[in-house]
Structure 1
Amino acid sequence: MTTPAGSAPPGATAGVEGALAALPESRRELARLLLAARSPVPGRPAPRSGAGPVPATALLTRLWHREHGTGRAPAQPGTGGAPGTGSHAVRLEGRLDHDRLRDALTGVLRRHEALRTRLAADGTAAPRLYVDEEPVLRLTRTDLSAYGEDARADRVRHELTESADAALDLGTGRTSRFRLLRLAPDEHVLVLASHLGVFDGWSSGVFLTGLAAGYRDGADSLPPPGLQFTDYADWQSRWLAGPEGTAELAARRAVFADAPPAPRAPGGFERGHLPVRLGRGPVDAGLALGAAEGATPFMTLLTALAVVLARREGRDEAVIGTPAAGRFSDRLEDAVGQFTTVVPIRIDLAGGAAFPELLHRTRAAVADALSHQRLPVDALFGPGTPPPYRVLFALHNYPAVPFGLPGIEVSQLPGPPARHLELYSPDPAATLACIGLTERDGRIGGTAEYNRRAAAPEDVRGLLTGIEAVLDRAVAEPAAPVRTRH
C-alpha cells in the first residue's frame, strides 16, 4: 500500500491526535500550529488543523488597513455605498413565515464561518481572523403597509440606498445586516448587506441556496461546506510563504517586471458610475468571428479592448486586470467568503498581426493568467506599487440560482450599483475604470465604475465605442493588420 506524497501513513493521524489529547489544553493548540507549520503545504486548500485564529488573506489585510489605518476612504453617499459594503434585495410575494425566515437566516450564519468572523491585529504586523462560535443575526423589520403606493416605493428605494451606504465593520464582526420590509400582508422585501471582505458575488448564490433550504427543510438541513473561508485564509498564508508559492510568485512577477506601473491620478480617487451597453450589430458579428477562432465572448471583447488601450497609450501591448472567481478548488464552490482575485493579463499586439491572430494570442494569455488564480494581486505587486493595469474588465457569468421558497414568488430588485474599484485594485487612484458586463437576452451591458479624478464619462464611453469600432473593422477586413501605433 502506498501513501500519497505529503500525507500521513495509516494510523499516524490517530497517533498524533492521541498525543495531542494527552497534552494540557493550554499547550494543545500551540502543538497543533507547530505540527501544521512542519507539514508540507498542499497546492490547494484543505481543512486546517485545529481551531483558533488564522492569518487574514492578503485582500482582507489591505481592506483592514484601509478601514483602520491612515488609508481609510470615507463613504460617498450616492456613489455606490460605503467602503466594504455590498447590498442587494429580493421581493417575496406570498404568505411569509417570519419565524421560519429568521431561523433560516440564523442557520446560514451558523453554517458559514465567514459570516461569523472578525479581524483583530493583536499587536502583530498582520490582522488575524477570529470565528465567533455562535451567530448573531442583525435583522430589522419595518412595516410600510400603511403608506400609499408611491410613498411605499420611495421608502423601499431609500432603504436599499441606506443599506448600501451603511458601513459594516470587520473589526467588530458586524459584517452582515438584514432588513425585512413589509409592504402588504403577502408582500415583503428582504434586503441583504454584507461586507465585501467576506462575501463575493459567487457567495450570493451560496447564501440564497442555503436560505431557501433552511426555510423549506429547517435551519439544520444543510451541512457545513467542505471547506470554510478560514481554511482558505490559513492555507493562503502558509502556501505563499512555502517553496511552491514563493516560486510561483517570483515567476509571475518576472512576467510583469518591465511593465510600468499605472500612473496615479493627481487628485486621488473619487468614485463614479455609468451604465454602459455594447451595440448589437458590430458586437454580434465580432463575437461570431471570435467563436470561429475558438475564442469565448470574453476573449474576443478583451482583445478588442486591448487594441483600444494600446492605441491610447501608443504601445504594442496592453495589460488588463480581470476579476476571477478564485474558487480553483471544487470544495470552495459551496462556501461563503471573498475568494475573488484580480488576474492581470498581458496581451502582445506587436507586429501588425490580423485580428484572428490576436485572438489566438489572447487565448493563450488568458489561459496562462487564469492558471495563477492562487496568487493574490496584493502579494503579486506589493503595497505602495500600483499594478500595471489601469482598466479592469469582466464579463460576469456567475451561475444562476433558482431561489425558491415554498408558496412564495421570488424576484430580484435592482439596487445601487456595486462598489468594486476599491476592492479589486490595490491602488484605486491608479485605476481609470472597472467595466463589468453581463449578457442577457442577447444584449451585453452593465455598469462602468470609474475614477472621476482620472476620467470623464465620455472617456469611459469611448472605451466601449472603441471596442465596437475594432470589432467592426475586424469583421469587415479580418486579414487586415491591426496597428496600435500611428
Structure 2
Amino acid sequence: MTAPSDTGVDQALAALPESKRELARMLLAARRPVTARPAPRSGAGPVPATALQARLRRREQTRPGTGTGSHAVRLTGRLDHGRLRDALTGVLARHEALRCRIADAPDGGRPQLTVDDEPVLRLMCTDFTGRAPAEQDEAVRRAVTESAETALSLETGATSRFRLLTLAPDEHVLILASHLAVFDGWSSGVFLTDLAAGYRDGAAGLAPPELQFPDYADWQRHWLTSSDGAAELDRRRAAFAGVPPAPRAAGGFERGHLPVHLDRGPGSALDAGLALGAAEGATPFMTLLAALAVVLARRDGSTDVVVGTPAAGRFSTQLEGAVGQFTTVVPIRIDLAGRPSFSQLLHRTRASVADALAHQRLPVDELFTDGTQPYSVLFALHNYPAVPFGLPGIEVNQLPGPPARHLELYSPDPAATLACLGLVERDGEIGGTAEFNRQAAAPEDVTALLTGIEDVLRHAAASPAPPGITTR
C-alpha cells in the first residue's frame, strides 16, 4: 500500500473540522519514525515547550525579570533609523523563536509554543543630545541596567525589546533585551549577523533558516519518547546511578558575581599546565576541568566528582543559523579512584568529556526529572563564535553589559549550585566572571577554586609523573 503524498495529507487535514485537525496531525506524526536529528515539523500548530522553557517560565512567574538577558552596542557614524527599524523587523520575521508565545496547554500539560504570523517590533527611541557627557554616560548606564531588569512576557509574545539612545547625530547606543527562554548565547551572534545583513542589503533578503526553534522543540519531545530516545535517556541515567544530588543551601538562592582571572605568561602555572595537557592530547578545557576535579575531590573527600558544563546544544549544523534556547548542561562524571597521576587523570577526563558531549541531545531537566542535580559547580570555557557586527559607515563597539544570570538557566535547582565559573580565552588571557550563590559560598570560596586549579597545574608541571592524586 502506497503512503499518501504530503499534498493528499494536507488536503485531508484541511477537510476536517478545526477541533479535530490538530489531533489528526499529531496522530499522523506519531506514526512516522523519529529521526536522530531535528527535521522540519509537519504543520504550523502549537508544539510543546522544552523542559528548560517550562522551568524558566515557572521561575519567571514567581520572580519577574529573572529571565531577561540584555546587551548593548555603541554605534558611531551616521545611522539610518528607518533602515535599522526595517532590519530589526526583518530579523524578528526571520526567526520563529522571536515570535513565540509560551502559554499553558489546554489539557494542563507541558506549556505550548505558538508562533505569531507577523513580527512586532518593540523599539523605544530616546534622545539625549545636548546633555553633558557625564549625564549621557549615566543615562546609558541606567538604561542598560533597566533593560536587564525589565520583565518580558512569554504569554503575550513580548519576548524582545530594544532601545535606541541618541547621544549625538553620529553617536547612538542600541540595547537589545530578549528572554532567555527563546534566546541563548549563540543566538547573539546569529542575531547580530542577520541585523547587519538586513541593514546593509535590506530585510527582504533575510530568508528563514533551514530549521527553526519550534522544529527542534517538536523533534525533541517526539525523540525523547521514541524507543531510541528513551533508551539513550535510560543509559545516561544509569551512568549517574549512585551519585547523590548536590546539597541545597539552607538559605536558598541569592545571586552574586565575582571577576575571575587565571595568570598567564612565561613560567606561569597555567601555561605549564596547559602545555602538559596538550602533550597528552587534552584541550585547554579538559586540562582545566581535570585540575578543577582534583580541587573538588580534595574539598569533598571524594574520588567521584561531577561537574556541569554548559553546551551549545546545536549538535546539528542545521541548527547553527537559528535563534532559540538550545543550551543544555552536560554533567561530566570524573573518576579519581586509584591515586592516578595527573597524566592519567587527563586521559580519564578526556574520555569523560567526549562521552558526555556525545549525549548533549539529552536535556538536563529530562535527565534528572525530580528537580535535583548531581553537580554543585559549573565550569565553562566559552567558545561562542566571534561575530564582527559591521554596519556600512558605522563603527560598532560592544558595551559592558549587566552581570550574567546563568545559574538559574543552567541549574534545575539554583539553591544546589555553589558557583558557575565562566571563563573566556581572549587575546592570550583567560578570565571572566564567576556567578555564585551567596547562600552557599563566599567570594573567597569561589576564588579558592581558581587558585586551587593553578596549584594543581603547578605541581603537575613540576613533577611529570607525580606519585598520585589524593583527595586529602
Secondary structure in structure 2 of the residue aligned to 1:152: helix
Secondary structure in structure 1 of the residue aligned to 2:295: helix
Deviation track 1:219-269 (CA, whole Å, cap 9, x = no partner) reads: 121210111110111111111111111111110001111111000000000
Q: Is the 1:29–1:51 Cα contact (8 Å) retained in structure 2?
A: no
Query: Residue 79 of structure 1 corresponds to which residue in structure 2?
Result: none
Query: Residue 429 of structure 1 corresponds to which residue in structure 2?
Result: 415
Deviation track 1:117-158 (CA, whole Å, cap 9, x = no partner) reads: 111113412110111111111100111112111111111111
Query: Residue 323 of structure 1 corresponds to which residue in structure 2?
Result: 310
Query: Residue 306 of structure 1 corresponds to which residue in structure 2?
Result: 293
Deviation at 1:484, TM superposition (A): 3.0
Query: Residue 401 of structure 1 corresponds to which residue in structure 2?
Result: 387
Deviation at 1:29, TM superposition (A): 3.4
Query: Residue 50 of structure 2 corresponds to which residue in structure 1?
Result: 57
Secondary structure in structure 1 of the residue aligned to 2:445: helix
Amino acid at match of 2:348: R
Measured in 1, the distance between the counterparts of 2:467 and 2:231 equals 38
Residue 389 (structure 1) aligned with residue 382 (structure 2) = no
Does 474-483 or 417-426 show the bigger shift?
A: 474-483
Residue number among 441, 445, 449 corresponding to 2:435 in the alignment: 449
Deviation at 1:17, TM superposition (A): 3.6
Query: Residue 289 of structure 1 corresponds to which residue in structure 2?
Result: 276
- Alignment RMSD (CA, Å): 1.5
Query: Residue 466 of structure 1 corresponds to which residue in structure 2?
Result: 452
Q: Is the 1:344–1:369 Cα contact (8 Å) retained in structure 2?
A: yes
Q: Is the 2:407–2:435 Cα contact (8 Å) retained in structure 1?
A: yes
Measured in 2, the distance between the counterparts of 1:97 and 1:343 equals 43
Measured in 2, the distance between the counterparts of 1:264 and 1:33 equals 40
Deviation track 1:408-461 (CA, whole Å, cap 9, x = no partner) reads: 111111111111000100000000000100011111000000000000000000
Secondary structure in structure 1 of the residue aligned to 2:203: coil
Query: Residue 244 of structure 1 corresponds to which residue in structure 2?
Result: 228
Measured in 2, the distance between the counterparts of 1:364 and 1:135 equals 45
Residue 192 (structure 1) aligned with residue 176 (structure 2) = yes
Measured in 2, the distance between the counterparts of 1:48 and 1:32 equals 11
Q: Is the 1:355–1:481 Cα contact (8 Å) retained in structure 2?
A: no
Measured in 2, the distance between the counterparts of 1:482 and 1:168 equals 52
Q: Is the 2:294–2:471 Cα contact (8 Å) retained in structure 1?
A: no
Q: How does 1:372-387 map to 2 (within 5 A)?
A: 372-384=359-371, 386-387=372-373
TM-score (norm 2): 0.97
Deviation at 1:337, TM superposition (A): 0.1
Residue number among 159, 163, 182 corresponding to 2:147 in the alignment: 163
Q: 1:407 to 1:119 in 2, by over 3 A?
A: same
Q: Is the 1:91–1:413 Cα contact (8 Å) retained in structure 2?
A: yes
Q: Is the 1:436–1:448 Cα contact (8 Å) retained in structure 2?
A: yes
Measured in 1, the distance between the counterparts of 2:469 and 2:22 equals 61
TM-score (norm 1): 0.94
Deviation track 1:151-189 (CA, whole Å, cap 9, x = no partner) reads: 111111111111111111212211100000001100100
Secondary structure in structure 1 of the residue aligned to 2:172: strand
Query: Residue 130 of structure 1 corresponds to which residue in structure 2?
Result: 114
Residue 85 (structure 1) aligned with residue 71 (structure 2) = no
Q: 1:210 to 1:10 in 2, by over 3 A?
A: farther
Q: Is the 1:92–1:409 Cα contact (8 Å) retained in structure 2?
A: yes
Secondary structure in structure 2 of the residue aligned to 1:154: helix
Residue 31 (structure 1) aligned with residue 32 (structure 2) = no
Amino acid at match of 1:465: T
Q: 1:392 to 1:12 in 2, by over 3 A?
A: same
Deviation track 1:176-231 (CA, whole Å, cap 9, x = no partner) reads: 00000001100100000000010000000000111011111111212101111101
Q: Is the 1:315–1:484 Cα contact (8 Å) retained in structure 2?
A: no
Deviation at 1:41, TM superposition (A): 1.1
Secondary structure in structure 2 of the residue aligned to 1:220: helix
Q: 1:95 to 1:10 in 2, by over 3 A?
A: farther
Q: 1:334 to 1:63 in 2, by over 3 A?
A: same
Q: Is the 2:273–2:287 Cα contact (8 Å) retained in structure 1?
A: yes
Residue number among 371, 391, 394 corresponding to 2:358 in the alignment: 371
Measured in 2, the distance between the counterparts of 1:299 and 1:255 equals 20
Unpaired runs of 5+ residues, structure 1, are 1-7, 76-81
Amino acid at match of 1:61: A
Q: 1:472 to 1:216 in 2, by over 3 A?
A: same
Measured in 2, the distance between the counterparts of 1:390 and 1:164 equals 26
Residue number among 60, 83, 97 corresponding to 1:114 in the alignment: 97
Amino acid at match of 2:410: Y
Deviation at 1:26, TM superposition (A): 5.2
Deviation at 1:345, TM superposition (A): 0.0
Residue number among 328, 336, 345 corresponding to 1:349 in the alignment: 336
Amino acid at match of 1:284: D
Amino acid at match of 2:289: L
Residue 40 (structure 1) aligned with residue 33 (structure 2) = yes
Measured in 2, the distance between the counterparts of 1:27 and 1:263 equals 47
